Amino acid sequence: MINARTDCRCCRSKNLNEVFRLGDQPFANAFLRSEQLSELELKAPLIIMECSDCSMAQLSHIVDPTVLYREYSFVTGSSQWMTSHFAELLRTNIRDFVPRGGLVVEIGSNDGSALLSIKREGIRCIGVDPATNLAAIANDRGVTTLCDFFSEKLATAITTGVGQADLIVACNVLGHIDDLDDFCLGVKKLLAANGRLVVEVPYVRWLVSNNECDTIYHEHLSYFSVGAFVHLFHRFGLQIEKVESQAVHGGTIRVTAKHGTENASSVQPWIVEEKLDWTRFRTHCETMRLQLLAWLIREKKEGHVIWGYGAPAKGTVLLNYCGIESDLIPVVVDSTPSKQGKFVPGTHQPILNPEEVLKQMPSACLVLAWNHYQEIERKESAYKQAGGKLRTPFVTLFPTPNNNRTS
Ligand code: DWN
């Protein structure tokens, strides 16, 4: 179920060096039912290795994807902001690259929220997602979704069945795929001659400069730099047409590629800036861990009750990395119905409906889903007016340079 990977999945180099470790952690989206609390929880090492040849950062150990994804807790539709973000991506790229009656394929289409936003525009669209629970939701919503992992084999089947795609989209997916060779071979098969591949991934440069250690978990096998994309795509005859910075999920990059071998001149400046200071990152994360614990202990001594707001994958990582159990944060709330009534992996906080915040009025909520701060702050305006406080795990308590998080 858990295997070590000893070569770089982008450039195949063996020159990998350990740069950060979070210890053995439970799987971030493996929320527990009450009857599972007394059972042994699966844990696996979270260790980041950096490739000396292409600056790719990747986990040392890989968890069997069928364990992580066949039943998946994260639902794109849980955030209006993210749904509109992906809808904008699809609309602009359809305008530019998809003729009337063209085909759009979204890899990692989740509950179909993004594709649903363009379905009305007479564009043929197909979703691909391995999660049986999410594919069922998407198909019920009228988004044709193939319940499987994307592969060269599946790409061949789609091409044979309905033709090549004018646009292939993969948002927050590439980081989850171990065999990127097979992914690229599938894209080469499926992508039309003048089609575009648009991928969006968390950007390792912002992860390191903003100390986003809670975004490191077993689903995220890779932490991409632009340099890593150049090495990977070059091996498969894909050229990068543009790279755009996006302010979602702690800072991502949107990479647009097509068949060819000549990257745009705008790519090189990105690579020049990718000198990652993992030593500073390690020091900052350890300091923030200790400061967050000290703050929670201080608040508890003053009789204040702190809840967690949002049960994102990153929240599981933060609570387990810092050893924050129910004595310091007794409750976590989350708007995802399938997470309510369950418990956080590892630290076992019960997950309640966010309506309980205004009802029970904890002194403050630590916003574990800090990438949705503005949306959450709007929803909880009554709680704040009643004296409740919202805090993000690091920036409010521990302002750090280059931090693009809200306070
Ligand atoms: O790569 C991934 C990222 C993109 O999404 C996936 N592997 C898993 C997932 O990571 P995550 O769980 O950290 O994603 P989010 O979007 O940060 O999760 C937000 C959580 O917060 C959801 O469970 C929903 C919840 N939420 C809430 O309770 N109230 C969200 C909003 C906006 C809210 O108002």
Phi, psi of 169 (to 5 degrees): -120, 140
Does residue 200 have its Cβ closer than 6 Å to ligand 1? no
Flag whether pLDDT at 101 surpasses 70.
Answer: yes
pLDDT at 407 over 70: no
Is pLDDT at 144 greater than 90 in this prediction?
A: yes
Q: What is the mean pLDDT of residues 376-396?
A: 90
Specify the higher pLDDT residue, 81 or 291.
Answer: 291
Task: Please state the rounded mean pLDDT for residues 118-135.
Answer: 90
CB 50 within 8 A of CB 56: yes
Q: Is 25 in the pocket of ligand 1 (CB under 6 A)?
A: no
Atom 18 of ligand 1, residue of closest alpha carbon: 312
| Sequence-separated (6 or more) residues with CB below 8 Å from residue 148 | 128, 130, 154
- Between 255 and 397, where is the model more confident? 255
Tell me if 179 CB under 6 Å of ligand 1: no
Reading the block at residue 361, the tokens are: 């009025």
- The three-state secondary structure class of 229 is helix
pLDDT at position 395, please?
Answer: 52
User: Ligand 1 within 6 A of 246 CB?
Assistant: no
pTM score, whole prediction: 0.91
Residue 103's DSSP bridge partners are 124
Q: Would you give the DSSP letter of residue 34?
A: G
Name the percent of the chain lying above pLDDT 70: 97
Output DSSP code: residue 138.
H
How many angstroms separate the alpha carbon of residue 400 from the centre of ligand 1?
Answer: 23
What pLDDT digit, counting tens, does each position of 309-363 carry?
A: 999 999 999 999 999 999 999 999 999 999 999 999 999 999 999 999 999 999 9
Give the mutation target among 334, 355, 373 for probing the ligand 1 site: most ligand atoms within 8 A of CB: 334
Place of tokens 């302010």: 247
CA atoms within 13 A on the CB side of 356: 18
Q: What is the Å distance from ligand 1's center to 6 Cα?
A: 30
Residue 75, pLDDT > 90, answer no
Q: Note the pLDDT tens digit of each residue in 223-248.
A: 999 999 999 999 999 999 999 999 88
CA of 238 to the centre of ligand 1 (A): 31
> Is the Cβ–Cβ distance between 407 and 392 less than 8 Å?
yes
Please determine, for residue 403, whether its predicted confidence score (pLDDT) is greater than 60. no
Q: Ligand 1: distance of its center to the CA of 92 in Å?
A: 24
250 lines ligand 1 (CB under 6 A): no
Number of Cβ within 10 Å of residue 137's Cβ equals 18
In the structure encoding, which two tokens stand for residue 105, read together?
């394929």
Q: Please say whether the beta carbons of 87 and 118 come within 8 A.
A: yes
Per the prediction, the chain carries an average pLDDT of 93
Q: Return the pLDDT at 398.
A: 40
- pLDDT reported for residue 397: 42
Cβ–ligand 1 distance for 376 under 6 Å, the answer yes
What are the pLDDT digits (tens) for 178-230? 999 999 999 999 999 999 999 999 999 999 999 999 999 999 999 999 999 99
Q: How far is the CA of 338 from the centre of ligand 1 (A)?
A: 13
The Cα 210–Cα 247 span in angstroms is: 13
Q: How far is the CA of 262 from the centre of ligand 1 (A)?
A: 36
E strands, 247-377, where? 252-259, 306-309, 332-333, 351-352, 364-367
For ligand 1, what atom is nearest to the CA of residue 312? Answer: 12
Please give the number of the atom of ligand 1 that sits closest to the Cα of 80. 32
C-alpha span between 228 and 230 (Å, rounded): 5
What DSSP letter does each residue of 58-100 carry, written as one string? EESEEE-HHHHHSS----GGG-HHHHHHHHHHHHHHHHHH--T
Regarding the beta carbon of 207 and ligand 1, being less than 6 Å apart is answered: no
Residue 182 has a pLDDT of 98
Task: Express each pLDDT in 76-91 by its tens digit.
Answer: 888 888 888 999 999 9
Query: What does the pLDDT read at residue 390?
Result: 96
Q: How many CB atoms lie within 10 A of CB 407?
A: 12
Atom 33, ligand 1: which residue's CA is nearest? 376
pLDDT higher than 50, residue 400: no
